[in-house]
């Protein structure tokens, strides 16, 4: 398969998804031309039938989530959500970061869900798969419209993001935080600008994210940090520096997730390694397998986010020691929020006398 590194893109190919039954075989010269063509971003509306997704994963600290977008222009090569584009018969590679689907009726569907008589209020996480503050959000404002609904009805919400665009909504987050109704987790896997440019190309700089942590914390918004993912021989040497930097910025907690390579992500990641780190690609994958029982990925609950074996244990000990040294807590990376203030759309209208 022809591969090519594109400025501002993470994947180096448009590898077929696992459900493609009749992959197109291009002639070598055509394949090379396609690989070298500059991929442009295309935004498409995708009306949601329902907006709240649920999970029963014992190693995830929430069971309800909302993803305003499918696909993510941030282009993080390691993103475990990439395989979701296979269900659309699109590539988990370049298509995932250039064919972005947004949900224009997200807030409408959320209000409908809250209005149902049997609805039970529990915290909802926004951004569990793709980033709710990716570049499209600046113009589309779907995440903003959802947060306005959370604030209006006093429903608890957790946010996960890599973007300083979250500061645009500081007014809503401050209002929610005053009643213990929100928290934010910011992902910071590297402080190295050169590594960021190829590993998560369209994500704001580490300095911008540290500023977001500082300002969120200063405004009273509970803010934690995810060092996600830790990649052997790529960013694992930064553990102590990252923990120090986020502690200085005011984060309450810090947590890490070991590199996950489900489905097509493994091949995409190995292509990326061969392109950007050919001299250490074999070593990186050897360490990944050491932490995954000899496989590239162990997807079992309780193992997939931490790895296992001596190397994985060593990373965990280093991370815990750094957090202890800098006074970061050992709580969950989503806060325990107050569900008692929620007012369902219909109930609120009755309370106002309509």
pLDDT in tens, the chain (354 residues): 678 899 999 999 988 888 776 554 544 543 444 455 778 999 999 999 889 998 877 777 788 999 999 999 999 999 999 999 998 999 999 999 999 999 999 999 999 999 999 999 999 999 988 999 999 999 999 999 999 999 999 999 999 999 999 999 999 999 999 999 999 999 999 999 999 999 999 999 999 999 999 999 999 999 999 999 999 999 999 999 999 999 999 999 999 999 999 999 999 999 999 999 999 999 999 999 999 989 888 878 878 888 899 999 999 999 999 999 999 986 555 668 999 999 999 764 444 443
Residue 213 and residue 183: Cα distance in Å, rounded?
11
How many domains are contained in the chain? 1
Residue 28 and residue 236: Cα distance in Å, rounded?
38
Residue 246 and residue 266: Cα distance in Å, rounded?
29
Domain assignment of residue 311, yes or no: yes
Query: 292: number of CA atoms within 13 Å, CB side?
Result: 22
Domain assignment of residue 353, yes or no: no
Task: Look at phi and psi of residue 4 and say left if phi exceeds 0, alpha if psi is from -120 to 50, else beta.
Answer: beta
Question: In this structure, what is the dihedral angle of CA atoms 164, 276, 9, 105, given to the nearest 10 degrees?
Answer: -60
Query: 13: number of CA atoms within 13 Å, CB side?
Result: 20
Q: Answer for the pair 61, 39: CB distance below 8 angstroms, yes or no.
A: no
Domain assignment of residue 126, yes or no: yes
SS3 209: helix
Helices 170-178, 142-153: axis angle to 10 degrees equals 20
According to the model, what pLDDT value does residue 278 have? 97
Which residue in 81, 7, 40 sits closest to 264, CA to CA?
Answer: 81
Domain assignment of residue 23, yes or no: no
What DSSP line would sit under 36-93, residue for residue?
HSPPPPEEEE---S---EE---TTSS-SEEE-SEES-TT--TT-TTGGGGGGGTS-TT
Distance from CA of residue 112 to its chain's centroid? 26
According to the model, what pLDDT value does residue 36 have? 59
According to the model, what pLDDT value does residue 29 have? 47
Domain assignment of residue 1, yes or no: no
Residue 209 and residue 167: Cα distance in Å, rounded?
10
Alpha carbon of 159 to those of 131, 181, 185: distances in Å?
Answer: 9, 11, 6
Residue 147 and residue 133: Cα distance in Å, rounded?
12
According to the model, what pLDDT value does residue 23 have? 54
Sign of CA dihedral 33, 34, 35, 40: positive
Residue 151 and residue 148: Cα distance in Å, rounded?
5
Domain assignment of residue 346, yes or no: no
Domain assignment of residue 266, yes or no: yes
Query: 272: number of CA atoms within 13 Å, CB side?
Result: 29
CATH of the domain at 282: 3.20.20.70
Domain assignment of residue 333, yes or no: yes
According to the model, what pLDDT value does residue 59 have? 72
Cα distance between the two ends of the chain:
63
Residue 9 and residue 71: Cα distance in Å, rounded?
13
According to the model, what pLDDT value does residue 306 have? 87
Where would I find the beta strands (DSSP E) of the chain?
42-45, 53-54, 64-66, 69-70, 99-102, 124-126, 157-161, 182-187, 223-230, 253-258
Find the domain containing 137 and state its range.
28-339
**What's the pTM value of the predicted model, to 2 decimals?**
0.90
According to the model, what pLDDT value does residue 330 have? 64
């Amino acid at each position: 398969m022809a591969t090519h590194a594109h400025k501002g893109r993470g994947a180096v190919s448009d590898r077929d998804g696992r459900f493609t039954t009749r992959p197109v075989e291009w002639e070598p010269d055509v394949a090379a031309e396609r690989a070298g063509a500059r991929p442009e971003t295309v935004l498409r509306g995708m009306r949601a039938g329902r907006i709240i997704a649920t999970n029963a994963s014992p190693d995830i600290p929430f069971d309800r989530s909302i993803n305003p977008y499918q696909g993510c222009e941030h282009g993080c090569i390691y993103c475990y959500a990439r395989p979701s584009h296979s269900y659309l018969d699109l590539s988990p590679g370049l298509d995932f970061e250039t064919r972005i689907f947004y949900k224009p009726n997200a807030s409408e569907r959320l209000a409908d869900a809250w209005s149902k008589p049997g609805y039970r209020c529990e915290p909802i996480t926004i951004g569990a798969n793709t980033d709710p503050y990716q570049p499209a959000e600046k113009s589309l404002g779907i995440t903003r419209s959802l947060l306005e609904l959370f604030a209006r009805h006093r429903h608890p919400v957790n946010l996960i993001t890599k973007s300083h665009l979250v500061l645009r909504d500081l007014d809503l987050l401050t209002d929610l935080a005053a009643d213990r109704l929100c928290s934010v987790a910011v992902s910071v896997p590297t402080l190295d600008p050169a590594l960021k440019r190829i590993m998560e190309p369209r994500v704001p700089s580490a300095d911008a994210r540290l500023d977001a942590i500082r300002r969120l914390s200063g405004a009273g918004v509970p803010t934690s940090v995810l060092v996600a993912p830790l990649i052997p021989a790529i960013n694992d040497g930064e553990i102590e520096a990252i923990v120090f930097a986020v502690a200085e910025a005011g984060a309450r907690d810090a947590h890490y997730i070991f590199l996950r390579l489900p489905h097509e992500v493994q091949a995409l990641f190995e292509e990326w390694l061969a392109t950007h780190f050919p001299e250490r690609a074999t070593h990186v994958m050897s360490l990944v397998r050491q932490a995954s029982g000899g496989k590239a990925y162990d997807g079992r609950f309780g193992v997939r986010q931490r790895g296992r074996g001596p190397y994985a244990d060593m990373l965990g000990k280093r991370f815990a020691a750094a957090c202890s040294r800098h006074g970061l807590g050992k709580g969950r990376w989503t806060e325990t929020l107050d569900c008692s203030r929620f007012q369902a759309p219909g109930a609120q209208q009755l309370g106002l006398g309509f």
